[in-house]
Structures are given as structure tokens and as C-alpha cells.
Amino acid sequence: MFKGCMTALITPFRDGAVDEKAFQNFVDWQIKQGINGVVPCGTTGESPAMTHDEHERINRLCVETAAGRVPVIAGCGSNFTEEAISLTAHAKEIGADASLQVTPYYNKPTQPGLYAHFKAIHDAVDLPMVIYNIPARSVVDMTVETMARLAELPNVVGVKDATNDLARPVLAREKIGPEFSQLSGEDGTIGAFLGQGGHGIISVLSNIAPAISVSMHDAWWAGDIATFSAVRDRLHPLARALFVETSPAPVKYAASLLAICEETVRLPLVGPTEATRALVRELVAELGLQGPAATAKAAE
């Protein structure tokens, strides 16, 4: 079961190309900061603005850099089933631990169509699958009933739930059982999600605050609700600020403040407004967040 705090990794760019060195350094830093897993090539990684070759390259670099230290759930989703199968086959070939498969956007499939799409991927590639349900971006919402049907397939092992419907974890647990991994896709509701039976998160916030994010989850699973609540309350203003504008623009700006990578996002996204920058700068400073260079120096 996937559990705890996993990072929906940003993708560094430089001069129009993927900054491979920055990405590898970033993945290594995330793992050294204690993150429970990494998820490349999701929405936060700007997969819709990547070429097919870039997508496969980033997934490969992530698996190679992780080197078995933490699970890698490789983003492989597409609204074209054959493309999703191709990306998933590559993820299996390079040694990813699972694939993340988004509900097909724009096409607006019915519930039977959603089932057929995910079953086709499942049957084509023998690799564990986490379904990514994000109605706000994909315009379709997988019902708990459809999720339960898919969970009967041996390799459908979990969901990244970005519905903001906090009844979902309880309903899914009732219909599927406690071993089905329920990961939130919303930093702002993590306390309620865990309280409703969730197992963890695929987080945007942990791109820039991995250690403190992990400490919050560790406190939850240790039953230390006082510490969990205190850390949650400290992190919530920044978690909220990172979605004032379309993600990942704010979090990539925050990453640039920590010298993780340049703030560049690819069109059609653009960088955040000055008002958002000022808010993010204030909250990053307030939390005392440090990037890879500073944390490495402190560890010496």
C-alpha cells in the first residue's frame, strides 16, 4: 500500500528544455528530506506541456535517481488510451513501482467509458495503477461505484482523490476495503482526508517543504494529534497560497526562491502575478524554508 506524504514533482526547465541536472538533484533532495514517494509527470510536473520523449525521459531519470529508496509512481495518463498504454509500458520497462492514470480529460467519457479506458491499460501492462480523479481539470468524475469495479482488477491499487469531496474516503473504504490506497490530491484538506480514512497525499506543497510535510504525516500515524494539528496550521496558509493561481506556477516560483530550479512554466501557463509572488515570498520566509544547498550545508 502507498502511504504517507508523496510529492507531485515539479519539472525544472532551463532555456526551453528540461533541466535534467536540476531535476535529478531535486529528486535526490526530496528523498534525503524523508519524503515517502515521488510522482513525476503529473499535472504539477506540467505533463500536458511535454513531448512524448520528454515525458519518458523524466520518468526514467526519476526512477534512476530514486534507485529504489522510495516508490516512484510514474505519471502515464492520457485522454488517448493507446498513448496511456504506451507510457505505462515504458514505466514498467524502466522499473517504476506504479503508474498514475488520470481520468481522460476533454473527451468526457461516461462511467462505462472510464471503466473501459482503465481496464484496457490494466490488461495491457502488468504494473500497479493509481487512478487520478480530478474533476476540476478533467471535467469527468469517477464515481465510487466505478472505482469499486476497477478495484476488483488486481493491479488497480489506489486513487489520488482531488475531488475535495470528503465523504469519498469513507464511501470508498466501505465499498472497496481498507487496503485500497487512498491518497489525497489536495494539501488544504489533508487533516479531514486522513480523518475520513485516507492513507496519505500526493502533495504540491511538499515540493518546497518536504521534511515538515513528512513530519505532519508521521505525527498523524503516531497518534500525536497535537503535533499534527500544529504543523497543519503552520503549513495551511502556504498550501492555500500555492493555488491562488493555476498550479504549478506559484510552487515553481517558490522553488526558485529556494534555488531548486528556475521558475519557468511552459505556455499556456505563465508566471504568477506580483501579488501572488509577494504572498508566496512572505509565507516561505515565515516558515523558514530552505532548499537543497542550505539543507546540505546545515547537515555538514
Query: Nearest CA to 205 among 58, 13, 75, 30?
Result: 30
Our answer to whether residue 160 is catalytic in this structure is yes
d(CA 253, CA 13): 12
What is the rounded CA–CA span in Å between residue 40 and residue 58?
7
Contact 31, 70 (CB under 8 A): yes
Distances (CA, A) of 117 to 77, 84, 161, 209: 11, 9, 18, 35
β-pairing, 17-18 vs 13-14, is antiparallel
Q: Give every CB contact of residue 282 below 8 A, 6+ residues apart in sequence.
A: none
Helix axes 81-94 and 52-66, enclosed angle (nearest 10): 30
Set 160, 175, 253, 297: catalytic member? 160
User: Would you give the end-to-end CA distance of the chain in angstroms?
Assistant: 35
Q: Which residues of 37-63 are buried (b: 16+ CB within 10 A; e: fewer)?
A: bbbbbbbbbbbeebeeebbbbbbbbbb
Pull the grid cell for residue 242.
500555492
Give SS3 for 245: coil
Question: Is 21 an active-site residue?
Answer: no
Please pick, among 3, 115, 132, 252, the residue that the annotation labels catalytic: 132
Q: What residues are labeled active site?
A: 132, 160
